[in-house]
A and B are shown apart, each in its own frame.
Chain A
Amino acid sequence: MTSTARVPDHLDDDGLQTVTLTVNGSERTVAVPTHRTLLDGLRDEVGLPGTKSCCAEGECGACTVLLDGKSVNSCLVLCVEAEGHQVTTVEGLSDDGLTDLQEEFLNAGAVQCGFCIPGQVVSAEYLLRTNPEPDEVQIREALSGNLCRCAGYQRIVRAVQATAARRSER
């Protein structure tokens, strides 16, 4: 920062902006540069590395989180845009062990290297919350933004179907 540069009013002396957001039910305040993505903010500032980074351009879905209950690629959202919003990451889907959906991922053999799985689980959870009884075409469509190079796709579809069945019995 040169002596002539003026720090805009909404930034602190280091050029950082203070952002307050609710992550997994807890209010968190972080100071970030305005270009910091929500993905990096969650991983590096909030300290929740369960959300993964791969393509950083909204194509792979590894960074999927829920923003006010809707699934988004957190690499395409700026941290500062999340001010005052509710964010749910994979860590926040359950506060006690695995969810039924996560259990069904394991039962179906859907988890191989595991890197894409947090994003898959969040996307699938969003699908089931908005469409509790999706058919296979709807599942494929809803998850088509989540890449899995181990290609556990068919097993993931089964995991989602099994979870939907479990939830409908409740």
Chain B
Amino acid sequence: MTTAPERAIEQRDALGEPSDPYPQGQVGRPVLRYGGGDRTSGAQRFVADLRFPGSLQVALVTVPVGCADVLGIDTTAARAVPGVVDVVTAADLPSPMPRFGVSHTDRPVLADGRVNYHGEPVAAVVAKTLDAAQAAARAVRVDHRELPGVYTLDDALAPGAHRVQEPSLRPGHALADTNVLEEAHYAWGDLEAEEARTEVVVEETYTFPMVTHFPIEPGGTVAVPTDSGGLDVYSPVQHPYLLQRTLASVLGLPLNQVRVFAPDPGGGFGGKQNPKLEPLLAFLALRTRRTCRLVLSLEETFQSMRRAGCRIAARTGFTADGALTFHHVDADFLIGAYADVAPRVMGKGSYVAAGPYRIPGVRIDARAVMTNTTPSTAFRGFGSPQVSWALESQLDAGARRLGLDGLEIRRRNLVAKGEAFVRGESAAAADGEWHQSLEKAAELIGWGTPLPPGRGRGIAVGIKPGATSGLSQSLVRLLADGSAIVYAGTSDMGQGARTLWQQIVADELGAPLDQVSVVSGDTGTVPFDLQTSASRSTVFMGSAVLEACRDVRQRVLALYAESTGVPPEELEERPGVLVTPEGELPLPEAARTALGSLRGEFIGQGTRRLRGKGKHPLGGDAAFYEFNATAIEVEVDRETGELLLTRHVTVSDVGTELNPLQVVSQDEGAAIMGLGHSQMEQLLLDEHGRIRNLGALDYRIPTFKDVPVELVSAAVENHDGPGPYGSKGISEGALLCTAGALGAAVADAAGVVIRDLPLTPERVWAAIQAAEAAQ
């Protein structure tokens, strides 16, 4: 039996030792974003900007409730609308209805007799113009009978509740006849014994709202039938290779007949990871033998993606010294009508429900509860922000009872590097000097310094497991003139992955930065990448690109030896150079000599594979952890309940900043997104399961005016990550514990503790009123 720290080290070694940064190289510099010029000039082409002459336009038909039986669909009037080419219902698709999904194969291409959430399409109109398609979609008559759908956790868990999923979709599953899709259980230590030595017990229930991704690019899909009976599909999908596999599977085509072009997503945040309407577009294109195009409205995007809401009951014990003794969590994740990746969000989020702390007794029971709502999917943080909200609030509640402050109680409980914070069979140990982030955040917020009346401070920490398995493959071509082309399938949705590949190749092959280009977003030319998720790309694809560069250098060395007659053992390749008996040659020059008059090029290949572990509840140990400490100073207006954030500090443990400008952009962006779910965002449903605040008018996200007066992002660098040059993934850290820090700050400023997010002015005002009335 190996210990958790040993396993963590073993895991890191499996990913390869971090390399040293190339001195005076491009790595580590604030290199400007690859493709940034096109993004500012308007030349960048997103999926809706692509033009397909002669393409048909698609409009979706839905019913105005969240749960209904479809009794009949009359398409006569729709078909009579001039310009309409086809109206497709479930009856026009193969029987049984093809289904797809990443964790369960449960999602139908079109609703098949039953509508399970508001916005689920029951028919699609294909027409020569968008006006005609939309007019015809309104003319489709859907005879339906509303069912008593379940829209809340209590509805879904009530005895005799409507079953969201057909039990036949989970044959033999113990929970098949319930609305609980999956459960996760983690436990270690002896809770009873721990409670016996406990001084203070805090027992509370917390809620975290359903929120939607709200990418500014709503997205869409274009499906183009090919002459050979296959399909080209354009979708701003984060996982083009998953989409390719899904389409091949539902259409019964070999992978090479499905080519996915993935234009850069205009924001993804997890919402654009998994296939949704692409299979429908694929069937429409094959049926009409024409190019079919669907560009979503923002409202349709709201109805296609969201984060799971969550209710967490927590019972937490502390000694008189403030040491955590036990933490008992019951977490119900409110997921949607189809599984998507929600069971994994529940399982992976609840895995860290006891946080980065030293807690001898822990019990975590979590459930993914299906409801007749938009399928919840991956969303930046992947379940961690929900559990962190409860845990961090519990810590502050304990601290207040014990007369400690928020910083001190965390100092006393945070694990040291190498120390286990998850114990038992699936143990995990800290892979960073996490105390440094906590101390830095405290320093930058001025923890302990005097504050004017009405202001308060809070501090919190958050943790999220990175990818637990993965595969990224890359090709690098060093051309005869010393320029280079990288092929890497990572989707660049704003994190700036391509900039990093450019920096790495520039250093490793000695090419000028502007002579390194990157090709991505095409499964027909770019090698396989499992997915762009879990902040994995720097570690996984970055390592693959690094390896491909080494492969190129070895090939240069071998051909140089052959061309010049210098024995290969007298040559050595290093980043950017070939060392010869006469001295160091810049690699491009060595390559030119090696290639000779025939010219040609060198092609290097790199692969980074992390196999999962069958018995591990997450499918494997995380390749790294994202760790963040956030501290917030807030002023509370007692008359209105409004919050003014006077200072917001985020510190992330990043390993090595490969590009400090991109790190700070991602970190600030995550922090503000965290303020969204902490302060203002929540999807509200009516009694028919319809989103009441459907659209930008009524669903508010942070604007320029919501940015804290001072927003400070800092990084801790110890070069201890498994990625190139000691890097880690960094894109999610700053929203993991935003809510906890803000909640603690509000409590400090106004003396009220609120356990339901978001902390809207109404809620804060009501809490202040209630507190004053109680005095």
Contact = CB atoms under 8 A, between A and B. Distances in A.
A74 interface: no
Contacts of A110: 665
Contact of A52 (B33, B217, B669, B711): B217
B266 A111 contact: no
Contact of B41 (A60, A91, A115): A91
Interface stretch (B166-174, B493-501, B592-600): B493-501
B37 A144 contact: no
Interface in A84-116: 89-91, 94, 98, 102, 105-107, 109-116
Interface in B1-42: 30, 32-33, 35-42
Contacts of A148: 216
Contact of B701 (A90, A147, A157): A147
A41 interface: no
A151 interface: yes
19 contacts: A43-B49, A49-B45, A49-B51, A56-B298, A105-B36, A112-B496, A114-B36, A114-B264, A114-B266, A116-B216, A139-B704, A141-B705, A147-B696, A148-B216, A149-B701, A151-B669, A151-B673, A152-B665, A153-B707
Q: How large is the interface on B (under 10, 10 to 19, 20 to 34, 35 or more residues)?
A: 35 or more
B673 A149 contact: yes
Contacts of A7: none
B215 A149 contact: yes
B297 A56 contact: yes
A98 B215 contact: no
A70 interface: no
B495 A98 contact: no
A52 B295 CA distance: 12
A113 B267 contact: yes
Interface of B: 30, 32-33, 35-46, 48-49, 51, 82, 131, 213-218, 264-269, 295, 297-298, 493-496, 661-662, 664-666, 668-673, 695-697, 701-705, 707, 711
A30 B695 CA distance: 30
Given A144-B705, A150-B669, A155-B668, A115 B216 contact: yes
Interface in A48-68: 48-57, 59-60, 62
A154 B669 CA distance: 9
Interface of A: 1, 33, 43, 48-57, 59-60, 62, 89-91, 94, 98, 102, 105-107, 109-118, 121, 139-141, 143-157
Given A118-B42, A150-B494, A157 B131 contact: no
B704 A49 contact: no
Given A109-B665, A111-B33, A152-B668, 6 more contacts: A57-B697, A109-B30, A112-B496, A113-B265, A113-B267, A114-B36
Contacts of A49: 42, 45, 48-49, 51
Contacts of B661: 109
Chain B CB within 10 Å — which of A109, A139, A141, A144 has the most?
Answer: A109
A114 B669 contact: no
Contacts of A57: 695-697
Contact of A55 (B38, B494, B673, B696): B696
Contact of A107 (B32, B131, B215): B32
B423 to A, nearest CB: 36
B298 A51 contact: no
Contacts of A60: 216, 298, 696
B45 A33 contact: no
B33 A106 contact: yes
B40 A54 contact: no
